């Protein structure tokens, strides 16, 4: 199979973790006789520095022409620490999500047996947790009109959702639930927010078409607590943009590290595969960041290409490195491996695997 992949490494640890994912994809290509053709393009703070634009038109063009996008992370403290910055790296990420119509962000949260005992959470509570967050990605408060008024002393961020925006992601979440444990939880704040009440209306109206799926509703504050106390109760979580952003970072604690949480962003045009974490600037250039989230995002990209055996082999290789304690410092502080060593180990596992092509 021949696939064109747009690679947007971005900022901070982005280039380091992306380099490991490419190493792993190259091992897959070699093993299974595929050709993955990579085109690098600028995004984020590095793109602002070079072009003044966090998501240049050339980058969007490269993405439109690709079969998939592999995204690292964007963000830089020099912008985070400047409340008056005119342009920000994060605007580039929002722009590509909107331009590619990537309305559905899928964030699987699983546990690794070998990490459960090390978790800050109680073992009996998280053992067997296996959930997936369906996060709406191109609407809500992140995309509403924002600004200052009354001579700058009042700030506002509007939150809007349409029935159509809610229906299209809800359909995907219901379908996912049908292939899993047949439970869908809508996380919202319908006791306060009108947008949340529209989400509930739409989901309730759709539910009879998915009669095999049990639907329940949780307010987001309660859901944040339940996530830590009893994550095994969740199967598919469906939620809007900001709640999904927050609750999935929280859920990464169940897995073991934010550095393990992968995601796929799908929608109208080229799909994008991106770790859930950010540019983790404190680790940039130190070769200590966990590359697993990006490697597992690449595995989700292989699934999207319908290369299921390849994707499963990548997941098996990641699991093997974790089980053997060959992980970065976030997961194995006693005997940490470097970012590049973890990438090498996972690629080597794939190269050695006995598969018949
Ligand atoms: N998708 C993206 O590109 C995102 C970008 N950002 C941006 O990233 C910058 C830093 O934001 P933060 O709030 O610090 O979030 P972050 O996700 O970069 O890091 C938060 C914490 O998570 C852990 N962590 C994250 N990635 C890790 C990895 N690969 N391996 C091991 N541990 C890891 C670290 O303890 C880190 O301090 C900001 O500029 C922010 O706007 C934040 C979230 C998502
Ligand atoms: C940086 C934001 C735009 C996004 C974010 O935190 C995320 O998608 O997880
Ligand atoms: Mg986030």
Each of the 357 residues of the chain gets a pLDDT tens digit; together they read: 999 999 999 999 999 999 999 999 999 999 999 999 999 999 999 999 999 999 999 999 999 999 999 999 999 999 999 989 999 999 999 999 999 999 999 999 999 999 998 888 888 889 999 999 999 999 999 999 999 999 999 999 999 999 999 999 999 999 999 999 999 999 999 999 999 999 999 999 999 999 999 999 999 999 999 999 999 999 999 999 999 999 999 999 999 999 999 999 999 999 999 999 999 999 999 999 999 999 999 999 999 999 999 999 999 999 999 999 999 999 999 999 999 999 999 999 999 999 866
The best mutation among 12, 93, 107, 277 to test binding of ligand 2, ranked by most ligand atoms within 8 Å of the C-beta, falls on 93
Query: What residues have their beta carbon closer than 5 A to ion ligand 3?
Result: 245
- As a whole number of angstroms, the distance between CA 318 and CA 175 comes to 27
Query: What are the residues whose beta carbons fall under 8 Å from the beta carbon of 123, sequence distance 6 or more?
Result: 116, 117
Ligand nearest to the CA of 280: 1
Closest ligand 1 atom, CA of 290? 30
Of the CATH numbers 3.40.718.10, 3.40.50.620, 3.20.20.70, 3.40.50.2000, which one belongs to the domain with range 1-106+258-357? 3.40.718.10
What's the CATH fold of domain 119-255?
A: Isopropylmalate Dehydrogenase (3.40.718)
Q: Is the ipTM of this complex over 0.95?
A: yes
**Contact predicate 230/251, CB 8 Å:** no
Q: From the CB of 90, is ligand 2 less than 6 Å away?
A: yes
Catalytic residue of the set 57, 157, 201, 221: 221
Cα of 247 to ligand 1 centre, how many Å? 15
Residue closest via CA to ligand 1's atom 39 equals 75
Q: From the CB of 74, is ligand 2 less than 6 Å away?
A: no
- As a whole number of angstroms, the distance between CA 118 and CA 231 comes to 17
Ligand nearest to the CA of 88: 1
Q: In the chain, where does the domain assigned CATH 3.40.718.10 lie? A: 1-106+258-357, 119-255
Q: How far is CA 31 from CA 7, 37, 121, 309, 356, in A?
A: 21, 16, 39, 11, 9
Nearest Cα neighbor of 75 from 274, 326, 338, 322 is 274
SS3 of residue 291 by DSSP: coil
Q: Please report, to the nearest 10 degrees, the dihedral formed by the alpha carbons of residues 160, 162, 163, 167 taken in order.
A: -90
Q: From the CB of 280, is ligand 1 less than 6 Å away?
A: yes
Helix 339-352 and helix 14-32, axial crossing angle in degrees, nearest 10: 10
Cα 345-302-320 angle, rounded to 5 deg? 30
């Amino acid at each position: 199979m021949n696939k064109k992949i747009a690679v947007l490494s971005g900022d901070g640890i982005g280039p380091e973790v992306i380099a490991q994912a490419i190493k792993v994809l190259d091992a897959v290509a070699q093993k299974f006789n595929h050709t993955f053709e990579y085109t690098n393009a600028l995004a984020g703070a590095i793109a602002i520095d070079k072009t003044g634009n966090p998501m240049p038109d050339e980058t969007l063009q490269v993405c439109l022409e690709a079969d998939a996008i592999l995204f690292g992370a964007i963000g830089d403290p020099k912008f985070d620490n400047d409340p008056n910055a005119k342009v920000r790296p994060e605007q580039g990420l929002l722009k590509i999500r909107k331009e590619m119509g990537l309305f559905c962000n899928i964030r699987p949260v699983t546990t690794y047996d070998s990490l459960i005992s090390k978790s800050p959470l109680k073992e009996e509570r998280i053992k067997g947790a296996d959930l997936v967050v369906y996060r709406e990605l191109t609407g809500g408060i992140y995309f509403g009109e924002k600004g200052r008024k009354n001579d700058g002393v009042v700030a506002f961020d509007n939150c809007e959702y349409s029935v159509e925006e809610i229906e299209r992601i809800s359909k995907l979440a219901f379908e996912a639930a049908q292939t899993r444990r047949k439970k869908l939880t809508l996380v919202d704040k319908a006791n306060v927010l009108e947008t949340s009440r529209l989400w509930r209306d739409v989901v309730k109206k759709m539910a009879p078409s998915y009669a095999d799926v049990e639907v329940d509703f949780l307010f987001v504050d309660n859901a944040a607590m339940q996530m830590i106390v009893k994550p095994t109760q969740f199967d598919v979580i469906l939620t809007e943009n900001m709640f999904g952003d927050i609750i999935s970072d929280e859920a990464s604690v169940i897995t073991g590290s934010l550095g393990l949480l992968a995601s796929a962003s799908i929608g109208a045009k080229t799909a994008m595969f991106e770790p859930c974490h950010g540019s983790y600037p404190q680790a940039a250039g130190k070769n200590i960041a966990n590359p697993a989230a990006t490697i597992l995002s690449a595995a989700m990209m292989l699934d999207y290409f319908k290369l299921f055996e390849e994707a499963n082999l990548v997941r098996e290789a990641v699991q093997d490195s974790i089980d053997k304690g060959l992980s970065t410092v976030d997961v194995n502080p006693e005997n940490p491996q470097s970012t590049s060593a973890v990438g090498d180990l996972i690629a080597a596992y794939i190269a050695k695997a006995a598969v018949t092509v």
